[in-house]
Amino acid sequence: MTVVGTIGHVDHGKTVLLRALTGIDADRLPEERRRGITIDVGYAHLALDDGGSLDFVDLPGHHDLAGNLLVGAGEMDAALLVIAGDSGPEAQTFEHLDVLSALDIRHCVAAVTKLDLVDAGRRRLLLNEIGELLAGTALEGAALVGVSARTGDGLAELRAALVGIDHAVRHGSTASAGAGHARLAVDRAFGVRGHGLVATGTLRGGGLALGDELRIVPGKGRVRVRGMQVHGLDVDSTASGGRVAVNVAGIGAADLRRGVVMTHNPGVVATERLLVTVDLVPDAYRRSRLTATLHIGTDHASAALRWIHEPTAHTRRRTALLDVERPVAAALGDRFLLRLPSPPRVLGGGTVLDPSPPRLRTRQLRERLPPAAPDPTLATLVRYRLALPAVELAGAAAVLGTSSRTEALLPGAASAGPLVLAPGIESDLAAEALARVSAAPTGTVTLPELRTLLAARLGRIGAIPRADAEAAAHALVERMVRDEMVALRGSVVVDAAGSDVAARLDEAGGRLVAALDTVRPPALGDTADTAGYPREALGALVDAGRLVRVAPDLAFAATAYRRLEGQALEMAARGELSAAAFRDAAGTSRRHAVAVLDHMTLGGLLRRRGNDHEPGPRASARPTDGERGAVFGHGGSR
């Protein structure tokens, strides 16, 4: 089904024409019928001979009702521009043309009404005038049809022109955006006695069926579809493209209003900040900062506009940030309109490039986005973000109805854990990591240090959530190891190309372990310095099982500690283990003896009893010497 918006100056006969065409009075409010003007959006439909139908959205024409007009205009596929023959184009006619241009409506029929009130000469002049009015706009070449709702003259021709519009809309493009993911922007929400809440709107992206669950955006609730009507008839399911009334359960009346979106498309988000491309009407470029009313879907809200690149008289298409007064529902590629509140006029229209852009500085955005506004594609999203969560890319792909496989969308993009990286970013990060390793005095950095470096860099370039950045950094280091760019010695990272560094590190580690293979080891830090082993890499020897660290600056070689541990457990089994007795039996100092006993107690091998110790809950699970050799990697590093 194709949704056609009837648009035109007040009193030019839009509603009367629809009634003559469809037999339906789109004015549903008593005040509308009493005053004879359309106040709120109205609806009608026309069955076609091929089994399809046209859904009409009757839009208010009075300038004071522009907000209501744009509720319906945001969801239409084509327009029926109505101009009265006895009046010709008037003030709102020109604003309505700006609306159609801003929303990129390219399919239109221009109907000249009330032709029974004008003679043939005036009719010809008027049709020529309207044709010239449309020349140079996106609606140039639109069908021009003269019609009289009172006599019926021209209705057949108008119906034929509308059938042509329907064919062009339905067959003029490929797969619909977000195929398979239903999305309904609510234009009416009301209660029905005995049934509960009902929402109406134009269904986009995919079909609906009874029992489907949908998110409410903005909002945190979910609704279940328990009934549907299309053109007043109950249906169990309906396809995308036409108007539908949905009876929903699971949400309160206060949470379902005009402007919210019901969807199961993950790419539709609630946002107060949008990165957009804007096509401005003439002269609008003269103002660098603007506050306008944002009309998107069936919602509207005040928004402050800030240019990324300053517009000029010759290039009125520019990227901008919109800061919206409250959350609105938006997705990549959504069309919107901006309207100045005073004096009221259309500022321009545009497309959403990113519905939830990272909070980068304007300078950073200016460097990443070209002066000519880019297209809203997944490739654009990846390129300007540099790094973004894969779930966001998948949501954007769902909106566009395309694959989320980055290699098919953007050659050179890379996956890093939960992130997708723009081309070149992975190699830049790897180069930075290698530079850090090479710049270190010992030619090494610890694994945690390198991960922290990469995570911080990712957070800066893409305003990435910390958890995602850390997971991506872990994946990047793993890839560098796998690609033999770096090598791991326990938890120490060395440049794989510098084999002499790795050899020197192993030699220094051997000297340090030998120096600590005693029951009275010297201070750990000083001994590491003497051996030429980097203090920041000491964890690697602990991880490899070559050292046992019992205090911040005290460690034993694994062989020495194993001997002390075995001796302490034998004494505990005999009930003879005190700090003083252990010191004397082991031939060590009191400080070393106490440190060993405390370490064993923390590990569950011993349990304190007054001034003595007894076997702890894990004493029976102590490994044999053979098993300990495997655990501690005796004889070399892992």
**Contact, 282 vs 308, CB < 8 A?**
no
- pTM of the predicted model as reported, rounded to 2 decimal places: 0.77
**Contact, 170 vs 136, CB < 8 A?**
no
For residue 261, how many C-alpha atoms fall within 13 Å in the half-sphere facing its CB? 30
What CATH number is given for 425-499 in this structure? 1.10.10.10
Phi-psi map region of 392: left, alpha, beta (phi>0 left; psi -120 to 50 alpha) = alpha
pLDDT confidence of residue 135: 84
For residue 505, how many C-alpha atoms fall within 13 Å in the half-sphere facing its CB? 30
Q: Is 120 exposed, middle or buried (0-12, 13-18, 19+ CB in 10 A)?
A: exposed
pLDDT confidence of residue 21: 87
**Contact, 110 vs 69, CB < 8 A?**
no
Structure tokens at 344: 């009221």
Structure tokens at 612: 């003595």
CA dihedral angle for residue 528, residue 532, residue 536, residue 537, rounded to 10 degrees: -90
Q: What angle do CA 398, 400, 401 make, to 5 degrees?
A: 60
Structure tokens at 264: 């199961």
**Contact, 516 vs 555, CB < 8 A?**
yes
Side by side, which strands form the sheet with 612-615? 577-578, 612-615, 606-609
Q: Is 51 exposed, middle or buried (0-12, 13-18, 19+ CB in 10 A)?
A: exposed
Angle of helix 466-482 relative to helix 425-439, nearest 10 degrees? 80
Q: Using one digit for the tens of pLDDT, what is the confidence trace for 304-318?
A: 998 888 766 666 788
At residue 431, what are phi and psi to the nearest 5 degrees? Answer: -65, -40
Confidence of residue 29 (pLDDT cuts 50, 70, 90): very low
Structure tokens at 619: 């004493």
Q: Who contacts 21 (Cβ-Cβ below 8 Å, separation ≥6)?
A: 44, 46, 155, 158, 159
Nearest to 252 by CA among 222, 227, 210, 228: 222
As its CATH architecture, domain 2-171 has 3-Layer(aba) Sandwich (3.40)
Would you say domain 183-263 falls under CATH 2.40.30.10? yes
Q: What percent of the chain has pLDDT over 70?
A: 87
Amino acid at residue number 271 = T
Q: Using one digit for the tens of pLDDT, what is the confidence trace for 242-294?
A: 889 999 998 888 889 989 999 999 999 999 999 999 988 766 555 556 889 99
pLDDT confidence of residue 635: 33
Helix (H) or strand (E) holding 530, with range, is helix 524-531
Instruction: Classify strands 606-609 and 222-230 as parallel, antiparallel or unpaired.
Output: unpaired
Phi-psi map region of 47: left, alpha, beta (phi>0 left; psi -120 to 50 alpha) = beta
Structure tokens at 444: 């090494």
Residue 625 in this model has a pLDDT that exceeds 50: no
Least confident span in 297-301, 406-410, 414-418, 592-596: 406-410
Residue 30 in this model has a pLDDT that exceeds 80: no
Rounded CA separation 63/464 (Å): 44
Q: Report the greatest alpha carbon distance in the chain.
A: 124
Domains 425-499 and 517-632 share a fold: yes
Contacts of 308-316 spanning 24+ positions with Cβ under 8 A:
308/275, 308/362, 308/365, 308/366, 308/369, 309/366, 309/369, 309/371, 311/280, 311/284, 311/285, 312/285, 313/285, 315/371, 315/372, 316/279, 316/280, 316/281, 316/282, 316/284, 316/285, 316/348
For residue 469, how many C-alpha atoms fall within 13 Å in the half-sphere facing its CB? 20
At residue 146, what are phi and psi to the nearest 5 degrees? Answer: -90, 140
As its CATH architecture, domain 269-376 has Beta Barrel (2.40)
Amino acid at residue number 306 = R
* CATH number, domain 517-632, options 3.40.50.150, 2.120.10.30, 1.10.10.10, 3.30.450.20: 1.10.10.10
Using DSSP, how many helices (H) and how many strands (E) does the chain show? Answer: 20, 32
Give buried/exposed letters for 66-90 (b at 16+ CB in 10 A, else e): bebbbbbbbbbbbbbbbbbbebbbb
Residue 176 in this model has a pLDDT that exceeds 60: no
Least confident span in 146-155, 467-476, 532-541: 532-541
pLDDT confidence of residue 631: 31
Structure tokens at 187: 């234009």
Residue entry with tokens 């923390």: 602
All structural domains of the chain with their residue ranges: 2-171, 183-263, 269-376, 425-499, 517-632
